[in-house]
Amino acid sequence: MKNSKFTLGMGTFRLQDQVAYDSVKMALEEGYRHIDTAQIYGNEADVGQAIADSGIPRDELFITTKVWFEYFDDVKFIDSVKESLTKLKTDYVDLLLIHWPSPKDDVDMALYLNELKKAKALGLARDIGVSNFTIAQTQQAIGILGAENMFTNQIEVHPYLQNDKLVGFCQANGIKVTGYMPFAYGKVLSDKTLKALAEKHAVSTAQLVIQWLAQRDIITIPSSTKRSNLISNLEKINITLSDEEMAQIAMLDCNDRQANPDFAPEWDASR
């Protein structure tokens, strides 16, 4: 990221209309500068309006959006990105991602990744990357784009789905990992092991999970509609989890995947 203040962002998945606007506006008021959205979320216009109304200079922000597979051709792709920029009220995004690989490889990966590369060349995006790509797909993408041109692979990561193999592969190739759904829709926040560790360190369970991700060098983008949660998630906490504590959390991995639509690729084993 530009610097450390962007390593924790505000996710907007499932936030719609006024709720999306209010949540992003609150996040920006509380100090968030990394906002993540996507074409398929249907909230780019609300996110863009909240950003515009915040009055924060554009160069202080890190905005991510993602291209939906409906636009994976050399006619629709760039136009869809320009439409996203219009909705977001910006001339560029800091990061443009392929949201999901083409279902069943219906579209040649080289075609849509080269369109992604073209979007960057046209100045529509500062950096590019992928999301929900398996190890094999990431390897294929490296062959097309070069690892140096892939900023991140945005994937599901939380204590119940730690995705060690994929995380390790990406990081070994110099590709940052962005973990979405860090709380697994709140499921991990009631976990006894995590709650005990959080109590030991005098932090919230959410803060503990964010620290666990940070120690794995994973960017994360939790979502919330509550100002108190937004503040708590962003708060700088002065703790370091020991190797033993990290090992305790590692034991919680049960391959409990939350995002698994029927068009998803054949996932790698978590470990």
For this structure, is 41 an active site residue? yes
- The residues with which 243 forms a beta bridge, in sequence order, are none
Q: In this structure, are residues 234 and 8 in contact, taking their beta carbons and an 8 Å threshold?
A: yes
Q: How far apart, in whole angstroms, are the C-alpha atoms of residue 106 and residue 197?
A: 45
Please tell me whether 99 is known to bind a ligand: yes
Count CB atoms within 10 A of the CB of residue 136: 13
Q: Which of 21, 41, 112, 180 is catalytic?
A: 41
Round to whole Å and give the CA distance between 89 and 46.
10
Q: Provide CB contacts within 8 A for 217, sequence distance 6+.
A: 171, 177
Which residues participate in catalysis according to the annotation?
41
Binding-site residue ranges for substrate:
99
